[in-house]
Chains A and B, each alone.
Chain A
Amino acid sequence: HLVLTQSPSASAPLGASVKLTCTLSSGHSRYGIAWHQQQPEMGPRFLMKLDSDGSHYKGDGIPDRFSGSSSGAERYLTISSLQSEDEADYYCQTWDTGIQVFGGGTKLTVL
């Protein structure tokens, strides 16, 4: 059963870095994921696709401040030099034959 687990909330000061985590369910540690950002009152935006080896490709116009990495069943999104506009919900997403799955999302607050 393919499931993605995210912490409901995270916070970090303006200008700092934050690392968000998405955990794949048991037996799915080799799956790739995508990260999506949803700013308040907006639709989601694709940030990047992240593979199990940590390689990632980003969507058009995504700043270098956003990066991804992987370790085992964990997939990470690191945002450096936090800006006010980074305050948003962040969702991970994965897929298998015949199904797509979303994590519950992490609400990031920039202090």
Chain B
Amino acid sequence: EVQLVESGGDLVQPGRSLRLSCTTSGFTFGDYAISWVRQAPGKGLEWVGFIRRIVHGGTAEYAASVKDRFTISRDDSQNIAHLQMSSLKTEDTAVYYCARSNSGCIDQWGQGTLVTVSS
């Protein structure tokens, strides 16, 4: 069974940092890109970024709203991806989902982890 499990969500003050993890199982992790998507309370889905497969360079791309503040990484030996968030703003408050991507198409989702940015 394919599984993606997010962890690390928390209440954090504006300006601070937080790292989310996406632990996966049930598929060959290295064959897929990993995306991060967020959903603010009562709002729609917003793409945050993705990291390519290692064979495609393992590089990451980001939405303009998080570029230069967020960093996505992956560890194929552990089947895990991370989202490092810095300089957090109140508008970053959301449920964060990791997802498996196949040539751009998201085809599996995690259950999400809540990040609240508030003083």
Binding site for B on A (CB under 8 A): 32, 34, 36, 38, 43-46, 49, 59, 89, 91, 93-96, 98-105
CB of A95 within 8 A of CB of B110, answer: no
What's the A-B contact tally at a CB cutoff of 8 Å? 59
Chain B nearest CB, measured from A70 CB (Å) = 15
**Interface extent on B, as a size class?**
20 to 34
Within 8 Å by CB of B44, from A43, A45, A91, lies A91
Within 8 Å by CB of A93, from B61, B103, B105, B110, lies B105
Chain A nearest CB, measured from B103 CB (Å) = 8
Interface of A is mostly: strand
Extra inter-chain contacts (9) besides given A49-B107, A102-B45, CB under 8 Å: A32-B105, A43-B111, A44-B45, A44-B109, A89-B44, A93-B45, A95-B101, A99-B61, A103-B44
Chain A nearest CB, measured from B35 CB (Å) = 6
Chain A nearest CB, measured from B110 CB (Å) = 7
**Chain B residue with Cβ nearest A50:** B105
